[in-house]
Amino acid sequence: MYSKELLKGTLQTIILKLLSENNKMYGYEITQKVKELSEGKIAITEGALYPMLHKLEQEGLLLTETVNIGKRIRKYYSLTAQGNAMADSKVIEFADFLNTMKILLSLNLKVS
Amino acid sequence: MSFLKETEINFIYTEIHRKGLTNSKLHPEVLDHICCMVEEKMHEGLSFESAYRQAMDTFGEEEIKRLQKEGRKPHTATRRLNQWLRIEYGTVMGLLLILVILSRNSSAQAHPDIAPFQNPGIVYTQIIQDIEPGIKFEVQEGTPVIATASGRVEQIDEQGLTLRHQHDLTTSYGHLTNLSLKLGDWVKKGDIIAYVAPRQGAKTQSYLYYEISFQGKKMNPLDFFVE
């Protein structure tokens, strides 16, 4: 498990990327998928996930669709066109960030 | 996957309500989430009771409280600002505090805490929150636009300008006309810097685009206004 500090700022990118590859997903499905793909190293907490989903929805990046499952209501999220574009740019930005971190952490940075 | 019975769903519904999640917007989603967790554990062979207990151990009452608290917050922009301040740039909090203190004294002039109009109460009709944290003020063309804080012109073209203020703050104004300032000019808080440009298409309303940045990062201007 990674520290909270490390994961902060990654949640939005993770959600957008997942949704860009899956037509629509609901909250629980997202947490399970992330758990599975990260081999349990990244656990998204519900207290962070739902507020983030609602924020992205409000910003026009996500669309929602509710489906009644018996007595339950399941809310599915999917990307808007804007959300798709944002997913792309977030992924590119993050990949670039990873590269920079790699440089920062691998070189001898001592100023001679 | 085993599906929960109606009585079991009702039980979970009552329980999360009792634990403090009363927010109607979140409730259905959280209910579904916990039901999924319980179902998964029941699928592994647990009884409903043990599955529910385990799910709640994982989900935790803290999460419910956190969700409820999140749901109550007034709007996401403020939440974003708060998160930004609290978590990622904790030290900025201190700086802003200093800003507030300073703005009460001599450098009130340097803090962009007013709307960019002489009479905001009458002039603007709508505020649209964009993806960018800047805001649009839908106002009549020709409305005078004022500097929200004292500063120097850092960037200027035919349609807009950016002012640099103290404390690494900048304000940007877009969709302007009749700009008479020059690069490097000093303006005082409240000075007229230009006028709102005419609308561009038949369908759009004329508007002013307004942005505040702190240390190069865009902030929500609404959070700066003194109510």
A44 and A38 in contact (C-beta within 8 Å)? no
Q: What tens digit of pLDDT does each residue of A10-61 get?
A: 999 999 999 999 989 999 999 999 999 999 899 888 888 998 999 999 999 9
- With contact defined as beta carbons under 8 Å apart, do A28 and A102 qualify? no
Taking an 8 Å cut-off on Cβ atoms, the answer to whether B87 and A71 are in contact is no
pTM of the model: 0.51
Please report residues of B whose CB lies closer than 8 A to that of A75. Answer: 28-29, 32
B217 and chain A in contact, CB less than 8 A: no
Give the pLDDT score at B225: 74
Question: What residues in B contact A11, CB-CB < 8 Å?
Answer: none
Does B32 sit within 8 Å of A51, measured CB to CB?
no
Could you tell me what percent of chain A has a pLDDT over 70? 95
Residues 6+ positions from B199 with CB-CB distance below 8 Å: B141, B205, B206, B207
- The answer to whether residues A19 and A38 touch, using CB atoms and an 8 Å cutoff, is no
Report CB contact under 8 Å: A47, B33.
no
- pLDDT computed for residue B72 by the predictor: 61
**Tokens of residue A111, six digits:** 């100023």
- Distance separating alpha carbons of residues B84 and A96, to the nearest angstrom: 22
C-beta atoms of B67 and A26 within 8 A: no
Tokens of B24: 């109607």
Mean pLDDT by 10 residues, chain B (227 residues): 80 83 75 90 90 84 76 56 59 63 61 80 54 74 90 91 91 91 91 89 79 84 70
Q: Give the pairing of strands B144-146 and B151-156.
A: unpaired
Give strand ranges (E) for B105-216: 126-129, 135-138, 144-146, 151-156, 161-164, 169-174, 176-177, 186-187, 192-196, 207-214
Distance CA B38, CA B59 (A): 11
| Alpha-carbon distance B196 to nearest alpha carbon in chain A (angstroms) | 26
Mean pLDDT of chain A: 90
**What percent of the residues of chain A are helix, what percent strand, and what percent coil, each to the nearest 5?**
60, 15, 25
Q: How far apart are CA B147 and CA B150, in angstroms?
A: 7
Q: Which tokens go with B173?
A: 């104004």
Per-residue confidence (pLDDT) for residue B227, from 0 to 100: 46
Q: How far is B141 from chain A (nearest CA, A)?
A: 27
Q: How far is B43 from chain A (nearest CA, A)?
A: 15
Query: What count of other Cβ atoms lies within 10 Å of the Cβ of residue B117?
Result: 21
Higher pLDDT, A54 or A2: A54
A26 DSSP β-pair partners: A76
What is the predicted pLDDT for the residue at B99? 60
For B48, the token pair is 């409903």
Measured between alpha carbons, how far is B70 from A46 in angstroms, rounded to an integer? 11
| C-beta separation of B170 from B154 below 8 A | yes
Asked if B93 is an interface residue toward chain A (Cβ–Cβ < 8 A), one would say: no
In degrees, rounded to 5, the angle at the alpha carbon of residue B181 between the alpha carbons of residues B178 and B185 is 165
- CB-based contacts of B221: which residues, under 8 Å, 6+ apart? B112, B133, B134, B135, B210, B211, B212
Does the beta-carbon distance from B32 to A28 stay under 8 Å?
yes
